[in-house]
Structure 1
């Protein structure tokens, strides 16, 4: 009998091949930014570096991954990548950008009394005004932050779940075990903590956060892509006389400082500096 015919005559079905692994989104599309601690207020600071009035509470941004698996070494390596950075930009909540220089028609309409008032304000408190064509940049301090990785989230009760690419309503239900805070008691997390941001002019603002990885420049030689973005809620910057005072530190901020982020200045209940909140 020719070689191989016995298999044709006595055919045995082959074992079924294992199903293909579920398709995972591309690495770049997995990234998300979540503003874990929103800025609420700030006192307008002067133009000098010594007059720092940090945004309160300090914005804290967290990186989230689609379909994150805490048991996956690859996912944990992503969270611990030191090449991540988040940049912060300041935007006014108004139709006109505060750092744009006034036009000739605008300056021509200013009378001498208004000009004297602005000069008097600059001389007395050193705050850069939005209508001052020679003002310094409104946002000062550390606007780019490196990642701060922790093995367990210090405030699991407020920890957000990582997004899921599975469209199953049962998985997004509050009764699902993954969405319960106890399931995230020992969840690793990576934060970007903006503890040194100051704003030089009173007004209503929002912050935009952009996630980048400078390692992509080294690996590909191309320009650094923006991997994810997030916006803060609007918050108000007050003149010195109207600032309501600093707030007590959150559980998250206190926990991050205890875990080693020493740049955070925490404040206990009733010990915040400044005027008492109304």
Structure 2
């Protein structure tokens, strides 16, 4: 399995008289947007997808969408009817989930770091 992250604005942006960087451009996500599943036995035995270097280039309100794909090596294990004709054989879309909206701040407005979660401390 692998997970692909994509970024979108949390709400449509109105075009004003001043053209800001975010006004007409898609949001910019930097870092590696794909992650293979890593099996970890702590804190809970499960498969985790780790994105260590994702960041957003412009301040604003955003949503991340995570799309789950399954890769299959053996042709006999392929889906009988692939859902998406744009994917190569042996890669099948499974589902997606969206985050709650989150804020990205400029360096001047950044309120400071929050404490790391227990999962982040373990990994």
Per the normalisation by structure 1, the TM-score is 0.36
Separation in 1, partners of 2:71, 2:104: 32
Q: Number of aligned residue pairs: give it.
A: 112
User: Match for 2:5 among 62, 77, 88?
Assistant: 88
Residue 48 of structure 2 is aligned to residue 153 of structure 1: no
Q: Distance in 2 between matches of 1:142 and 1:197?
A: 7
Deviation at 1:146, TM superposition (A): 1.1
Structure 1 position 254 matched with structure 2 position 121: yes
Point out the structure with max Rg over C-alpha: 1
Query: Structure 1: which 5+ residue stretches go unaligned?
Result: 1-83, 98-105, 119-128, 157-187, 257-278
Shift in Å, 1:222: 3.1
Q: Higher strand proportion, which one?
A: 2
List runs of 5+ in structure 2 lacking aligned partners: 79-87
- The runs of 4+ residues in structure 1 deviating greater than 6 Å are none
Query: Over aligned residues, Cα RMSD in angstroms?
Result: 2.7
> In the TM superposition, what are the counterparts of 1:142-221 in structure 2 within 5 Å?
142-150=32-40, 152-154=41-43, 156=44, 188-215=45-72, 219=75, 220=78
TM-aligned CA deviation for residue 147 of structure 1: 1.1
In 1, Cα distance between equivalents of 2:11 and 2:101: 11
Matches of 1:140 and 1:212 in 2, distance apart?
21
Match of 1:242 in 2: 109
